[in-house]
Amino acid sequence: MTDQAPATLPARHLRNRATIEFAVMAFSLASFTTIGLSLVVTSWIAAVEGSVFLVGQLFFASSTTALVFSIYAGVVTDRKNRLLIIRQGQSLRILGVCALVVATLGTSAAPWLFAYAVLFSLGTVLNAGALDGIVQLAVDEQQRMKLAIRVSICRQLGILCGTGLGGVSLHHLPAVWPVLLMAVLMMVQFVIISLFFADYQNAPSKPPGHVISAWKGGLRSILGQPRLAFTILTIGLLFSASQMANVLVPGFVRDSLQQGSDVYGLLEMAWAAGGGAALATAAVRTRLSGAHRRELVILIMAGVAMVAFASSRSLPLLVAIYAILGGMFAWGRAICDGRILILAKNEEIGRVRAATSMVVSLLGMAIYISPTVIGSEDAILYYVSWGVVLSVAGAVMLGLCARAGWN
C-alpha cells in the first residue's frame, strides 16, 4: 500500500484536472452558444425595429456598462468567494434573457433590448474574472495555454452553433424561440457551476477594502509587468475587429448587399467556422501559438482583411474573407487569454480581467456610437477606416516590441 500511495496522488490529480478542464470547456460551449444566439437575435431585431443606429446604441450600452461595472467587479472577484460571484453573474444573465423574451413578444422592443444588454453585460463581467481565477487554482501553469486554446475552440463551436441556430430559427420561426433556447442553455450553465466549480473556491486573501485603493494596487502590478500590460492592450484591439463586425454587418447585409437574414446568418456562421478551423490548427500545432509576438502579426492581418471585406461584393468571397477574419480574431484572442492566465497572479486575476474588459469596452464604445455621432450608415467607410487603424497599430506595436526586446 505504501508503495502505491505516491503514484495514486498524481493519478488523482490528473483525474481532477481532467474533470475541471471538461467542466470549463462545457461551460464555455454553453455560454458562447448563448452569446451566438444573442448576437444574431438582438442585432436583427434592432435592425428591423430601428436601424444600424439602434444596433450601435445597444452595443454601446453594453460596453458602457462593462466599463463602469468592471471597476467594482475586478475588486470583488479578487476579494470575495468566486463561486458566489459566478453564480451572481449567471443570475444577472438569466434576468437579461427574460427581458429579451419580453422584447420579442412586446410591441416596443427597444427598452427591453437595452435592459437585456445591460443585465447580460453585468453578468458577463462578473463571470470572466471568477472563471479565470477558478482555472488558475485548478490547472498547472504549464497547461494553461493548452487549456486556453481548447476553451477557445469550445467558444468558437458555441458561436457557430449559436449563430447557425439563430439564423435558421429567425428564418423559419418567431424570434421568441431562439431566446427560449438561450434560457435553457443558461440553466445548463448553472448546473455546471454547482456540480464542478465548488471545489475551487478561493479563500479571499484580504478583507474587502476601498475599491479605488484596491484598483491602484492592481494597476501598479499590471504596469509593473510590461508583457501583461501589452497583452491586455493587444486583446482589446483584436476585440475591436469583432465589435466593428457586430455593429456593421446587419446594415451591410441589408443596405450594401440588399440581402436578408439568411445571408446575415451565413456570414455569422462563416465567422465562427473560420475561428474554429484556426483554433483546431493551433491545438494540433501548439508551437504556432507560442511564437514571439504572433498576436501582433494576426492583428495586422485582421486589419487588411477588414479592408478587403469592405471592398468586395461577391458573396462567396465575402464569406471566405469573413471566415478568415473570424479565424484571426479567435486565434489571437486565445493566445492573449493564455498569456493572461500564465502572467497574472491569482490574487489579482479579477482586476487583470476587469482591466481587459475596460480596454475592450472603451474601444467598443467608440466603435458602437460612431454611426450615431458621425451620422452615416455607410458600413464601407467604417470597415476601411478601422482596418487601417488596426494594421497601423499592430505594426507600431510590433516595432516597439522588437525595440524593447519584449517577447
DSSP structure class, residue 20: H
pLDDT of residue 392: 92
Higher pLDDT, 247 or 85: 85
> According to the per-residue pLDDT averaged within each range, which of 55-59, 116-120, 162-166 is highest?
116-120
Among 112, 101, 132, which Cα is nearest to 197's? 132
78 exposure class (CB count in 10 Å sphere: 0-12, 13-18, 19+): buried
pLDDT of residue 279: 81
Per-residue pLDDT for 172 more than 70?
yes
pLDDT of residue 1: 39
323, 396 contact by CB (below 8 A): no
304, 353 contact by CB (below 8 A): no
Give the model confidence (pLDDT) of 208-267 as tens digits: 556 666 667 777 777 777 788 888 888 888 888 887 777 777 777 777 777 777 787 788
Mean predicted lDDT score pLDDT of the chain: 78
Integer angstrom CA distances of residue 33 from 36, 54, 197, 324, 350 = 5, 23, 20, 20, 24
Measure CA 62 to chain center. Answer: 13
Give the model confidence (pLDDT) of 119-160 as tens digits: 998 888 888 777 877 777 777 777 777 888 888 888 878 877
How far is it, in rounded angstroms, from Cα 285 to Cα 359? 30
For residue 7, give the C-alpha cell.
Answer: 503514484
HSE, side-chain direction, 13 A CA sphere, residue 179: 24
For residue 275, give the C-alpha cell.
Answer: 475561428
Per-residue pLDDT for 310 more than 50?
yes
Please state the pTM of the whole predicted model.
0.70
Q: Kind and range of the H or E element at 192?
A: helix 176-196
Residues near 138 by beta carbon (within 8 Å), at least 6 away in sequence: 16, 17, 20, 21, 24, 200
What structural domains and CATH numbers belong to the chain? 5-197+211-404 (1.20.1250.20)
Give the number of residues written for the chain.
Answer: 407
Q: Show the DSSP H helices in 197-292 as ranges.
A: 211-223, 226-251, 261-284, 287-290
